Amino acid sequence: MNQNTKVKEQSQTPTNTLNFDCETGNYHTFCPISCVSWLYQKIEDSFFLVIGTKTCGYFLQNALGVMIFAEPRYAIAELEEADISAQVSDYLELKRLCLQIKHDRNPSVIVWIGTCTTEIIKIDLEGIAQRLEAEIQVPTIVARANGLDYAFTQGEDTVLAALVHRCPEYNKNDSETTQLKHPPLVLFGSLPSSVAGQLELELKKQGIKVSGWLPSNRYSKLPHVGEGVFVAGVNPFLSRTAAALMRRRKCTLIGAPFPIGPDGTRAWVQNICDAFGIESKGLDLREEKIWEKLEPHCKNLRGKSVFLIGDNLLEISLARFLIKCGIIVYEIGIPYLDQRFQAAELALLETTCHEINVPIPKIVEKPDNYNQVQRIRELRPDLVITGIAHANPLEARGISTKWSVEFTFAQIHGFGNANDILELVTRPLRRNNTLDQFNNNYSTESWSNQKNWS
């Protein structure tokens, strides 16, 4: 069966409509429990307890590198053989650990992260949490962020979806809400507070007030949600949170592209204005000014080609922005694509491709890394956005790479941070130029021990 040839033909056939493909799902990504690393920092009075095995602990310890040593507010409840074979009571074990956490750290909320193991041995985390919460008087929520069901950033989605149930009920007659000129707006997605501040300011310029964020930086300050509250997501991987807000709390979701890149930010602000019937002011000019600033980067990027291997669900938004910058995107790999939650983003991708007049890249859901490497070898893109597992081997074969995880941790949202995205994207290209310029004998073509494809 010549699967590779088939795939190659597809990837070289230009299309004018969105084209979705699904492969074997054999790809590298971070385990979704990695979300504790940024969420414990975001929610300052929380404690995250990952209920899993040594494998989970080893991953967190290695993936988060230095971060782990700054007295983290997270820990592993390491399951031992007696837990697996049900020789001890899960309830008593968890009670012992949570009392210890309460005593040592006194958090406002304990978040239990369910893992593959708790799924397989079917520990009733939700049931035990409810019972313990009443007994030890610390709010305890459960998020099943496991590798059986989710990839990397989707971990945050499971935590936020669980937090939705703890948000206080919105009250129409609240003095704060009666003063608003528009229905209350709650944004969801965990962002560094300065980035959140920038997005709030952007909306403020349109006369829109942000009533709250999910998550807020303290558990005690969760936003009020309920019927009549409008919600908008800031990241493409939050589909479960969106669903929970709509179905469980009767909020109205504003479908929009995500505020990544000036084009995305503009569309995001515009869609929120439209939802409130507010006529936007000065958005065109604002976007234009940012593009002017980006021009020096774009000038170097035009005509360059990028291949996104896919591991963090930011891929569609990033590709859309890069295409707008004049880059040719060969393939958008993505772990999981919620076509409803990302509908506006997909539509903007399509429009952007038509506008720039380039074929729409193929979107590959659940990609197969082995096949992708074969396609990369064939296409030789100027840049591959990929996880670390492939980065050094590709660099050794003369393919420039950018580590995809950096896009998750860098500040990439809003008008002000568009430049940072391009800084990330152009860094490997600039590095290679610098090295080649000063040392022709060791240029990418000839540096010692360069690997051949085989």
Does the annotation flag 273 for ligand binding? no
Distances (CA, A) of 236 to 86, 116, 193, 266: 39, 24, 19, 16
Q: Cβ of residue 75: shortest distance to other proteins, in angstroms?
A: 5
Which one, 68 or 435, has the nearer CB to other proteins? 68
Helix, strand, coil percentages for the chain (3-state, nearest 5)? 50, 15, 35
Q: How far is CA 194 from the centre of its chain?
A: 17
Which token pair is 27? Answer: 């790809």
CA distance 256 to 203: 14
CA distance 371 to 368: 5
Does the annotation flag 56 for ligand binding? yes
Which token pair is 258? Answer: 């995500």
Q: Cβ of residue 171: shortest distance to other proteins, in angstroms?
A: 27
Residues sharing a CB contact under 8 Å with residue 244, sequence separation 6 or more, in sequence order: 161, 164, 165
- Give the chain's end-to-end CA distance (angstroms, integer): 20
Distances (CA, A) of 174 to 248, 276, 312: 21, 20, 39
Q: Cβ of residue 240: shortest distance to other proteins, in angstroms?
A: 15
Which one, 41 or 443, has the nearer CB to other proteins? 41
Which one, 361 or 428, has the nearer CB to other proteins? 428
237, with CB counted inside 10 A (0-12, 13-18, 19+), is buried
CA distance 183 to 268: 17
Q: Cβ of residue 355: shortest distance to other proteins, in angstroms?
A: 25
Does the annotation flag 98 for ligand binding? no
Which one, 111 or 225, has the nearer CB to other proteins? 111
Taking alpha carbons only, the member of 346, 410, 400, 406 closest to residue 376 is: 400
Q: Cβ of residue 304: shortest distance to other proteins, in angstroms?
A: 20
Q: Cβ of residue 4: shortest distance to other proteins, in angstroms?
A: 10
Q: Cβ of residue 28: shortest distance to other proteins, in angstroms?
A: 6
Which token pair is 70? Answer: 């700054």
Residue type at 448 in one-letter notation: S
Q: Is residue 384 within 8 Å of 289, Cβ to Cβ?
A: no
Which one, 183 or 398, has the nearer CB to other proteins? 398
Which one, 431 or 451, has the nearer CB to other proteins? 451
Which one, 32 or 361, has the nearer CB to other proteins? 32
CA distance 185 to 229: 6
Distances (CA, A) of 325 to 168, 284, 320, 352, 377: 42, 17, 9, 10, 24
Residue 433, CB half-sphere, CA atoms under 13 Å: how many? 7
Which one, 57 or 226, has the nearer CB to other proteins? 57
Q: Cβ of residue 50: shortest distance to other proteins, in angstroms?
A: 10
Strands 305-308 and 328-334, bridge-based pairing: parallel
Residue type at 49 in one-letter notation: L
Q: Cβ of residue 381: shortest distance to other proteins, in angstroms?
A: 17
Q: Is residue 49 within 8 Å of 74, Cβ to Cβ?
A: yes
Strand, coil or helix: 253:
strand
Which one, 79 or 167, has the nearer CB to other proteins? 79
Taking alpha carbons only, the member of 121, 118, 27 closest to residue 78 is: 118
177, with CB counted inside 10 A (0-12, 13-18, 19+), is middle
Q: Cβ of residue 225: shortest distance to other proteins, in angstroms?
A: 25
Binding residues for [4Fe-4S] cluster: 31, 56, 116
